[in-house]
């Protein structure tokens, strides 16, 4: 029997008492409260996030929205290969594990449950990597490696290494971090080459929501982040979100002074993401920023490179089709910034907003480590969760 929701034993109330400090801050930089529509209902929060916990994303609430299977995917999915790998992973599990991993595809609330927070603070659907055997984790690695590109697969590993680094620092709540403890997998629906299903993988600073429906695929919402932004493990420098950071800050750096002035987002300041976890209403802010149509070829290429840093986490055939879609909409796309524009400055915020593509990147404050850390979300307004605009 499949799950119908997240188990209460992993609920939020007891976890909050752990006082995990990663992804949180004691101070807000927002100028004034704003009202945002989240998951079909309206909640009041400080600017910069769908939730009320201040910088780092807050303690978001998940309200199920109506999702369909009519998302505007350009196709190209390697669905048959993913079905084979997903089936092999599920077959490797025993009955009790499958009970935890498998959900109905219609369980929208669980499908929408992802976060920048650790799993000790926001419970995740599915089973933790720590509760899988080596062979089962190998089968999961094959599944994710089939769905994602080498770039995406490596980023999963590197974000997990960042969590291991936080675990090594010790302190209150540190034992909740770690590449095995803090990352979960769930499967929604029966993997099928013709019927919709979803593979959900994530944990602290990572959300992969991979929805398949025949030739169509959605990789959004997709969240990536890293605390710290750079660190060493086994003598090797690891920068889990370097491609996204370089792309977004590179696109802003390519603007001249006049364009940079036009690109400033003036509707408010931001201490975290607007369309981050819990913000699944399908309602996005009014477009701001400089129109990409006014940029020269080199600058347009920089915007495309920033988008590609996210899209190319997916298997290449589908990623190429998605990039062609976004490129065809490039002249209707805007790029904007708020607060600061430097790659190391606190609260530097960059947004790419098109007819379909939506990307946000922010340098948010850290408490577990010095300096800033990264939060970023990629959404497709026409294809999140493989659905058209939620309701």
pLDDT confidence tier of residue 81, bands split at 50, 70 and 90: very high
pLDDT score, position 217: 98
pLDDT score, position 369: 86
Model pTM?
0.89
In the DSSP assignment, the letter for residue 133 is -
Residues 139-163: what's their mean pLDDT?
Answer: 98
Using a 10 angstrom Cβ sphere, with 0-12 exposed, 13-18 middle and 19 or more buried, the burial of residue 34 is: middle
Residues 261-277: what's their mean pLDDT?
Answer: 95
pLDDT score, position 253: 98
Taking all residues of the chain, what is their mean pLDDT, rounded to a whole number?
87
In DSSP notation, 38-65 reads: ETTEEEEEETTSSSSS-TT--S------
pLDDT in tens, 37-57: 223 333 333 223 323 222 233
10 has a pLDDT exceeding 90: no
pLDDT score, position 59: 58
Residues 252-277: what's their mean pLDDT?
Answer: 96
Cα torsion 28, 361, 141, 85: sign: positive
365 has a pLDDT exceeding 80: yes
């Amino acid at each position: 029997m499949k799950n119908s929701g997240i188990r209460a034993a992993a609920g939020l109330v007891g976890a909050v008492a752990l006082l995990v400090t990663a992804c949180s801050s004691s101070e807000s930089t927002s100028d004034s409260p704003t009202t945002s529509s989240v998951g079909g209902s309206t909640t009041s929060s400080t600017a910069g996030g769908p939730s009320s916990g201040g910088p780092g994303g807050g303690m978001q609430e998940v309200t199920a929205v109506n999702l369909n299977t009519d998302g505007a995917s350009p196709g190209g999915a390697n669905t048959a290969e993913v079905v084979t790998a997903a089936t092999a992973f599920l077959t490797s599990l025993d009955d009790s594990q499958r009970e935890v991993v498998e959900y109905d595809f219609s369980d929208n609330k669980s499908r929408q449950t992802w976060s920048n927070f650790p799993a000790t603070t926001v419970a995740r659907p599915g089973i933790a990597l720590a509760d899988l055997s080596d062979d089962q984790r190998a089968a999961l690695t094959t599944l994710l490696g089939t769905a994602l590109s080498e770039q995406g697969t490596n980023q999963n590993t590197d974000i997990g290494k960042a969590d291991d680094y936080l675990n090594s620092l010790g302190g209150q709540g540190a034992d909740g971090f770690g590449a095995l403890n803090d990352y979960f997998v769930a499967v929604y629906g029966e993997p099928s080459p013709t019927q919709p299903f979803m593979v959900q993988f994530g944990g602290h600073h990572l959300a992969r929501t991979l929805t398949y429906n025949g030739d169509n695929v959605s990789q959004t919402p997709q969240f990536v982040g890293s605390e710290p932004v750079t660190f060493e493990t086994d003598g090797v420098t690891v920068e889990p979100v370097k491609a996204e950071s370089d792309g977004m800050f590179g696109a802003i750096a390519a603007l001249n002074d006049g364009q940079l002035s036009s690109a400033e987002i003036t509707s408010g300041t931001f201490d975290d993401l607007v369309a981050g976890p819990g913000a699944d209403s399908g309602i996005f802010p009014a477009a701001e920023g400089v129109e990409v149509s006014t940029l020269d070829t080199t600058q347009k290429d920089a915007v495309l490179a920033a988008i590609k840093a996210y899209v190319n986490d997916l298997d290449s055939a589908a990623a190429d089709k998605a990039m062609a879609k976004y490129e065809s909409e490039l002249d209707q796309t805007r790029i904007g910034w708020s607060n600061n524009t430097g790659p190391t400055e606190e609260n530097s915020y960059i947004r790419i907003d098109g007819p379909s593509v939506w990307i946000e990147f922010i340098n948010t404050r850290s408490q577990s480590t010095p300096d800033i850390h990264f939060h970023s979300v990629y959404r497709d307004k026409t294809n999140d969760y493989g659905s058209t605009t939620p309701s």
